[in-house]
Amino acid sequence: MVTCSSANDLQTSATRALVPPPTDSRLLKRTAPRLLALALLAATMLPAPLAAQTTGRILGRIKDAETGQPLEAVEINVEGLEIRALTSDRGDFVLAGVPAGEQRLVLQVLGFQPTTVTVLVRPGRTAQLTIELKPAPVELEGVAAEVERARLIEPEVAATHQIVLGRELRELPIDDVEEAVELTPGVTDGHFRGGRIGQETYLIDGLEVKNQFEASLRGTGLEVSPNALEEIEVVTGGTRPQYGSALAGAVSYVTRRGNPERWEGRSSISSDNWFPDDVYQGFSALSFTIGGPVRPLGEGVTVFADLLAQGLIDSEPRARGLTCLRPQDGDEELAAAITALSGDPATRHLYCPFTSPRLPYQRGDRLIGFFRFDAPLAATTNLTFSLLYNRRQQELYTPEFKYNSVFQLGQRTKGLLATLTLDWALHRDGRAYHVTARAAAMRMDRHLGALDPWTFEGRSRTAGFGLSDFRFLGEDFVHRPIEEQIRSGTAVPGYIRPGGSVGSPFGPAAEGIFHTRGTPDIANWNRTEFIGGDVVGEILLAQGHALRAGASARFYEVENYERVLAYLPGSSPSFARFYPVTANAWTEISILSVNNITAQLGVRVEGFRSGLRFQENRGNIFAPVIDSEFKTFVMPRLGVAIPFPFSDNRTVAFFNYGRVAQPPDFRFFLDSTLGDSLRVDIKRQGNPNLAFETGSAYEFGLRHLFTVPIAVNATVFFKELNNLVTSSLPFPNTPVNQFTTGDFGSVRGIELSVRGRWPFLLAQAGYSLQRATGVTSGAFESVDSTVAERRVEFPLAFDRRHSFDFAFLLGHAAGAAGWRLGVALTGSVQSGFPIDRLAAGGEFAGEPVARTRLPWSGRADIKLSYDLGSLGVCDHCGWRLLLDARNITDRKNIIALRRDTGGLAPSASDLSEAGSELPGDFEPIPVESLRYSSAIDFNQDGLISASEFTTARFAAALDASDPSLYFGE
């Protein structure tokens, strides 16, 4: 029996202690009965095995062009593939398992002209078309017909989604696919319709790839190069059962397969090294793509490979670079203090001693590799193998180590995903049976810690990119068995207590503010692995009805290591190894009724278990040790699309409703330390028995296609979220700062979008107005008992009210034939997030509301391209010149402000307080002292007095408060 745990069980959970995880055999023994139950449930729903997201369906009707009568027994073949069907007595046909992309259908029947039709097949979707054949008393040469390749209106879709085709994606001024996702109405800065990061799900060829351990920190787990994609689908409302567990939305990436007819390739080199220093950011990229048939292995066998390498001198460019506080950034008192410091000849050298148009210690690089192999095993079965590799690494600028020339903080993330897919389709008697079975394995590794100086000095780079990995101090040591580390009782090799002042312009006055010697003190790594399988199947009828079902299971192994005082011998690291399990089963029926009304009814059963054993009461060593239970949740989904009568499918109303849920991030099961490398005082206590984060979502929309190729869409949505993970709401019998599921909130809004398509121009624009409220903005907020007791909702920290996005493709960027020039222009204008809530500081009277918001921000990017032709070098090659410019309006987009002041600067009193801190045994520092610095001996009398010391310390505090990190590109 599968047990169900309610959210209330978790809100009142007692203090729990983690104990060592069970062995694999014990894990499988306890998990097997529940997995079997889910598998049996899936089997009862599964009429046939299911469909992959790399293939789509074609539903059509064939008529006599003269009489309008349906044609029976017309043979339809997908050119180059062993996919064929015959029309029924009503002239209907259905094709399943058709590879995504443009496909050519060959239609033949005795007495009519043979016809070839080109149709765009979208993964996981049904392409609908009506074809008229002309009678031919004698056999004639076949004719070709062009049907609508990309529909502006989809009358059968009862959800809000946006498609970016691969060809368009490669024309946009973007570096990664997340930037294309951001152009979708309702998506801003990684937040989907007011949800926090991690509430969305990401799929690659139908496989969910989000790193569930760090989802709310980093969103997607793996990256795919834009050149490796056939299309991106972004679903912001009405997620169907097969899209997995997601509270906010879904992003589905579909990868490219090799062309079965010919070899194709593309390469590009881009860099900003030729530009002036004030706009140079040190960006360089090399991209290489190739694919085609491998005929020695058989007809239809193809390969595709893509490689993207990027080098970054400043991996997080800021508009002001590395700068300092200016008088206008703060209040009048601070402005006067800055003016006095910079205006005095004796002290002016301490104001802005180190500036740069770019942030220092931000170098990094990115490497993405993708390989795909497709082979037909039989007329009805295809095999696909794919491999995706990621490596992203960068230095991490921290102001405290600004003047440390030896050691800095860094991070490296590596990921590998391998999938093997079998796809089977059978067409018979006006029906199509389609099954996809898939096995997958993924591994994600992240290391955060002090970088070995070799990374700066010995690692070879070309245009900012290096083939070798970053090296970290003590990396081998921290990966050794935890028992060996504890027995050794030593510090992490190479780590040194941070401190010192020599090397900073403030001398001894900078102690505790800047660290010119020593290393960052954190050593952290985690590894997430899973193996899993999916089965998806569908039965399709030529009348347009479909029955779909699927099931999947994943077995994880998660390791997490954290040592926050790595330089301190005897400091005990926090380590956990556990084995979460997730499993699900779903089914959906789609009915196409009279007047082309489409109704979809589905249900998804999701289950997970943390895989951790825990002590019921951590304060009692004799408390019983129990196993976390398997949590389950049932999610019904309903969607209806209703074309208006007599509108010829040009006007469609749609409605959808669904219960939504997802497992919490796995890291919430574990204790954690918050803050950067210098703040280790904030603790959060893990809860291995957390259950689902849940909610309900409603959506109503209207689509209309004008006579001109312009389509508009208006959507109203409401989303209610409950049982979100938090540590800032105290509950009875629950320790302060323990992760619980007591947060709640709601998001409501309206979205408007317009799309247009002409032979030489593609255009789209969208506007979102939304309101996101709740009792807290996340699991890492400060505890405020007053808010918890009153349960008052107020604007969340990611409540962006207004957002406007646009994209224009012109010339050959829009697919226009005969154009050498291509233009792609994208941009956005957005209102600011709330920068503070009175509740955050616990100092409010009456209703807690946002004090103020960040200013409006906006940006525009443009990509110009010009085809140069073959240039006589290669007859089958084309050369193109590109100019890719970002943030062309040069807006200094503020992305954050200080919560305490609502501005860029701290208060003058806070800086003065930091400056007035003198060591308890302070004595004037003579020139003979090793601590003496002539830079802060303002009168050059050979003695640093208390007043000189405090003045220099104020200047150091001012320098440490530089606003660089508060600005965007």
Q: At what angle do helices 946-960 and 908-915 cross, to 10 degrees?
A: 130
Phi and psi (nearest 5°) for 27? -60, -45
pLDDT tens by residue, 94-132: 888 888 878 889 988 888 888 888 888 877 778 888 888
Nearest to 66 by CA among 141, 142, 134: 134
Cα 209 to Cα 51: distance, rounded to the nearest angstrom? 18
Question: Which string of DSSP letters, residue by residue, matches 632-648?
Answer: EEEEEEEEEEEEPTTST
Which is it for the CA torsion 29, 30, 31, 35, positive or negative? positive
Mean local confidence (pLDDT), 135-154: 59
Task: Record the tokens describing residue 37, joined without a space.
Answer: 């139950």
The confidence band for 915, taking pLDDT boundaries of 50, 70 and 90, is: confident
Contacts of 139 (CB under 8 A, 6+ apart): none
Instruction: Examine the pLDDT at 19 and tell me if it is beyond 70.
Output: no
In this structure, which amino acid lies at residue 129? L
Nearest to 422 by CA among 406, 408, 439: 439
pLDDT score for 17: 35
pLDDT tens by residue, 534-546: 999 999 998 889 9
pLDDT score for 5: 31
Q: What is the 3-state secondary structure (H, E, C) of 446-467?
A: EEEEEECCHHHHCCCCECCECC
pLDDT score for 514: 92
Task: Record the tokens describing residue 621, joined without a space.
Answer: 């060593």
The confidence band for 899, taking pLDDT boundaries of 50, 70 and 90, is: low
Task: Record the tokens describing residue 308, joined without a space.
Answer: 């993207």
Backbone dihedral region for residue 311 (phi beyond 0: left; psi -120 to 50: alpha; all else: beta)? beta
In this structure, which amino acid lies at residue 773? T
The confidence band for 143, taking pLDDT boundaries of 50, 70 and 90, is: low
Over pLDDT 90: what percentage of the chain?
44
Residue that has been written with the tokens 């997970």 in this structure: 608
pLDDT score for 6: 30
Cα 168 to Cα 815: distance, rounded to the nearest angstrom? 8
Nearest to 246 by CA among 125, 159, 121, 124: 159
User: Is residue 185 within 8 Å of residue 753, measured between CB atoms?
Assistant: yes
Question: Which string of DSSP letters, residue by residue, matches 751-776?
Answer: EEEEEEEETTEEEEEEEEEEEEEES-
Instruction: Examine the pLDDT at 431 and tell me if it is beyond 80.
Output: yes
In this structure, which amino acid lies at residue 108? Q
CA-to-CA dists, residue 352 to 318, 349, 367, 400, 469, angstroms: 17, 7, 36, 15, 34
pLDDT score for 639: 94
pLDDT score for 379: 82
Question: Which string of DSSP letters, residue by residue, matches 672-709?
Answer: EEESSTT---EEEB--TT---EEEEEEEEEEEEE-SSS
Contacts of 363 (CB under 8 A, 6+ apart): 282, 312, 313, 314, 315, 394, 395, 464
In this structure, which amino acid lies at residue 543? Q
Cα 229 to Cα 807: distance, rounded to the nearest angstrom? 19
Assign 809 to helix, strand or coil. Answer: strand
The confidence band for 631, taking pLDDT boundaries of 50, 70 and 90, is: very high
pLDDT score for 46: 35
Assign 498 to helix, strand or coil. Answer: coil
User: Is residue 687 within 8 Å of residue 610, measured between CB atoms?
Assistant: no
Distance between first and last Cα of the chain: 54
Backbone dihedral region for residue 378 (phi beyond 0: left; psi -120 to 50: alpha; all else: beta)? beta
- Looking at per-residue pLDDT, the higher value among 500 and 10 belongs to 500
Show contacts of 142-145: CB within 8 Å, 24+ apart. Answer: 142/106, 142/113, 142/114, 142/115, 142/116, 143/113, 143/114, 143/115, 143/116, 144/115, 144/116, 144/117, 144/118, 145/115, 145/116, 145/117, 145/118
Q: Per DSSP, which regions of 134-220 are E strands?
A: 143-146, 160-165, 187-188, 191-192, 200-204, 207-208
pLDDT score for 51: 36
User: Is residue 711 within 8 Å of residue 755, measured between CB atoms?
Assistant: yes
User: Is residue 282 within 8 Å of residue 102, measured between CB atoms?
Assistant: no
pLDDT score for 843: 40
Instruction: Examine the pLDDT at 788 and tell me if it is beyond 60.
Output: no
Assign 156 to helix, strand or coil. Answer: coil
pLDDT tens by residue, 342-374: 999 999 999 989 888 888 888 999 999 999 999
Q: Per DSSP, which regions of 542-650 are E strands?
A: 546-563, 574-578, 581-592, 598-609, 613-615, 625-627, 631-643
Residue that has been written with the tokens 């991106």 in this structure: 232
Cα 556 to Cα 639: distance, rounded to the nearest angstrom? 33
The confidence band for 13, taking pLDDT boundaries of 50, 70 and 90, is: very low
The confidence band for 181, taking pLDDT boundaries of 50, 70 and 90, is: very high
Instruction: Examine the pLDDT at 511 and tell me if it is beyond 80.
Output: yes
The confidence band for 849, taking pLDDT boundaries of 50, 70 and 90, is: very low
pLDDT score for 938: 93
pLDDT score for 246: 84
Contacts of 307 (CB under 8 A, 6+ apart): 225, 286, 287, 288, 289, 367, 368, 369, 370
Nearest to 323 by CA among 401, 405, 399: 399
User: Is residue 746 within 8 Å of residue 720, measured between CB atoms?
Assistant: yes
Mean local confidence (pLDDT), 252-275: 91
pLDDT score for 870: 83
Assign 7 to helix, strand or coil. Answer: helix
- Looking at per-residue pLDDT, the higher value among 17 and 735 belongs to 735
Task: Record the tokens describing residue 924, joined without a space.
Answer: 């004037």
pLDDT tens by residue, 194-217: 888 888 899 999 888 888 888 877
pTM here is: 0.86
Cα 425 to Cα 97: distance, rounded to the nearest angstrom? 6
Mean local confidence (pLDDT), 266-283: 84
Most confident among 464-473, 612-621, 679-688 (mean pLDDT): 464-473
pLDDT score for 791: 55
pLDDT tens by residue, 240-252: 888 777 888 899 9
pLDDT score for 356: 84
